[in-house]
Amino acid sequence: MAQTVRDAVLHNPAMARVFERHGIDYCCGGQRPLDEVCTEKGLSPEALIAEALPPTEPDIDWNQAPLPDLIQHILDRHHVYLRAALPELERKLVRVREAHGATDGPTLEELGRIFIGLRDELMSHMAKEEQILFPMIQRLSSGLPAPMSLDGPIGMMEYEHESAGNALAAMRRVTSGYVLPAHACGTYSALYHQLAELEADLHQHIHLENNILFPRAAGIRA
Ligand SMILES: [Fe+2]
Ligand SMILES: [Fe+2]
């Protein structure tokens, strides 16, 4: 039997984002054959599957690269990702809660509560980095004096990273490691997959800041 749109998402949850990008309904209309939907949209199934592959990262040694390049990479790769992923995750949480609140209410409520706290914290956290700390590091790395010590802003960012890490761990605990219940639909599956993706991306993002950017910036000042 031909692979359906729903099968494609269940087999590879990253397909959910690709289908959304192309306006393909993978949830309620997900039982339609993938070939048929692609023909209708003038797309090839192979091209859609290729779109779901993670982009390859250029092999850059961030311990050596200029700090403004590292900052630009963090902004382009991680801050842009969060600004797109956080609202999308919130929409999915609402849809899953509407559809599965009767059976999974307490888990989904708790998950939603932790997620919203994390989202609010990350949005203000990124604004502080973009408006205060990163411009200070850029000034220092081009030989100009910073208007104040980096200690305070770096300490604050590290504290907020720890809080974000705690929220990620709590979401993983509440969902028993993102294990889907047997009755999960395509949106549920995409939600859990994308939350796990958020976790992996934030771990990488925080690593670049805590372990590379901040110590290197502190070194310029010394
Ligand atoms: Fe950041
Ligand atoms: Fe950060």
Residues whose CB is less than 8 angstroms from the CB of residue 40 and which lie 6 or more positions away in sequence, other chains included: none
Instruction: Report CA(180)–ligand 2 centroid distance (Å).
Output: 30
The per-residue pLDDT for range 24-33, each reduced to its tens digit, is: 888 777 888 9
The per-residue pLDDT for range 157-186, each reduced to its tens digit, is: 999 999 999 999 999 999 999 999 988 888
Task: Give the predicted TM-score (pTM) of the model.
Answer: 0.77
Instruction: Report CA(130)–ligand 1 centroid distance (Å).
Output: 8
The stretch 123-150 carries a mean pLDDT of 94
Residues whose CB is less than 8 angstroms from the CB of residue 148 and which lie 6 or more positions away in sequence, other chains included: 136
Phi, psi at residue 59, to the nearest 5°? -85, 85
DSSP 149-180: -SHHHHHHHHHHHHHHHHHHHHHHHHTTTTPP
The candidate with the shortest Cα–Cα distance to 55, out of 71, 76, 70, is 76
Instruction: Report CA(158)–ligand 2 centroid distance (Å).
Output: 7
What protein residues have CB closer than 5 angstroms to ion ligand 1? Answer: 129
CB neighbour class for 23 (10 Å; exposed up to 12, middle 13-18, buried from 19): exposed
| Rounded Cα–Cα distance for residues 214 and 218 (Å) | 6
> Is pLDDT of 215 > 70?
yes
Instruction: Report CA(113)–ligand 2 centroid distance (Å).
Output: 21
